[in-house]
Amino acid sequence: MRFVLLIYSNQASWEALSPEERTALEQGHATLHESLQESAELAFGAGLAATEATRTVRVRSGRPSVTDGPYAEAKEHLAGFYVVDCESPERAAEIAARIPDASITGVEVRPVMMASPPD
């Protein structure tokens, strides 16, 4: 089963970290990434650019509208993700708990809906 592990962050929690804590967070991701590659559970993962680089596209009455920033005003934003291929939701939650950001903000575990092959 595939799961996406959505890592949420907010500017205030990031700014509250010392340079050493930020380095430890980055090293924790590198260690987790390596471990998941070794166990063959990592399908893909990436950090996302800051919300200042985000664009939101809406199509209304057939016309696209592009605005700066994320869709909704929120204190937290999607900062990155892992896609893991593991045996159960429980295992996905175990992996999510190993993501360094889980100790600061939250990590959402969501099953990935696989598209059906065409007939």
Residue 51 located in a structural domain: yes
Residue 116 located in a structural domain: no
Average pLDDT estimate for 88-108: 94
Alpha-carbon span 38 to 26, nearest angstrom = 19
CATH code of residue 6? 3.30.70.1060
Provide the domain count of the chain.
1
pLDDT in tens, 4-21: 999 988 878 888 899 999
Alpha-carbon span 2 to 62, nearest angstrom = 34
Residue 99 located in a structural domain: yes
Residue 117 located in a structural domain: no
Residue 98's domain comprises: 2-111
Measuring CA to CA, which residue among 91, 107, 100, 98 is closest to residue 1?
Answer: 91
The residue that leads in pLDDT, 72 or 89, is 89
Residue 119 located in a structural domain: no
Query: Residue 77: its pLDDT value, please?
Result: 83
Bridge partners, residue 44, by sequence: 83
Residue 89 located in a structural domain: yes
Measuring CA to CA, which residue among 103, 88, 75 is closest to residue 11?
Answer: 75
Is the pLDDT assigned to residue 72 strictly greater than 70?
Answer: no
For the chain, what is the mean pLDDT?
A: 89
